[in-house]
Amino acid sequence: MAKLPPGFRFHPTDVELIMYYLKRKIMGKKILFEAISELNIYKFSPSDLPDKCCYKSKDLEWYFFCPSERKYASGFRMNRTTETGFWKITGRDRRVLYDEKFVGSVKTLVFHQGKAPRGLRTDWVIHEYRFEDKDMAVAGFSLVPF
């Protein structure tokens, strides 16, 4: 990826993330600009994730595509545990509208160190982007230190 000129940044809206990046990824279409890295984020500690992102900037936000893994083959619960802790859903989903139509949703998850249901809350937050309400094989994530 070519370096961006000064002042230019990757600051996508929810709609751009869902309707362009995530939709194209799910459909297997090319994305010309490598701003979002493909990575199983649950294999890493939150603090190791920034270095794994292909898009380098001084912004404290990083974007990833991540394969969705079920906790049990038969169920819908996602496996969000990592080696050192787990990502816990916080608050309600945010619905994303485009042209007055529902196009996706955003979950907020906070990293907790240790084992569920206990664990020590940290300042690491991810937003999980889903295309429509379908159970897709890939979700989009943005990571921020709270």
Contact flag: residue 5 with its own copies (CB under 8 A):
yes
Q: Which is nearer to its own copies, 9 or 71 (CB)?
A: 9
Contact flag: residue 29 with its own copies (CB under 8 A):
no
Q: Which is nearer to its own copies, 13 or 47 (CB)?
A: 13
Residue type, 113: Q
Q: Which is nearer to its own copies, 11 or 77 (CB)?
A: 11
Number of residues that bind its own copies (CB under 8 A): 17
Question: Of the candidates 11, 101, 118, 134, which one interacts with its own copies according to CB under 8 A?
Answer: 11
Contact flag: residue 4 with its own copies (CB under 8 A):
yes
Reported for 85-90, long-range contacts at CB under 8 A and 24+ positions apart, including other chains, are 85/45, 85/111, 85/112, 85/113, 85/114, 85/115, 85/119, 85/120, 85/122, 86/111, 86/112, 86/115, 86/116, 86/119, 87/42, 87/111, 87/112, 87/126, 88/112, 88/116, 88/119, 90/125
Contact flag: residue 44 with its own copies (CB under 8 A):
no
Q: Which is nearer to its own copies, 11 or 92 (CB)?
A: 11
Strand partners, 97: 102
Stretch that binds its own copies, among 13-21, 46-54, 119-127, 131-139 (CB under 8 A): 13-21
Relative to beta strand 37-38, strand 138-145 is unpaired
Contact residues for its own copies, defined by CB under 8 A: 4-13, 16-17, 20-21, 32-33, 35
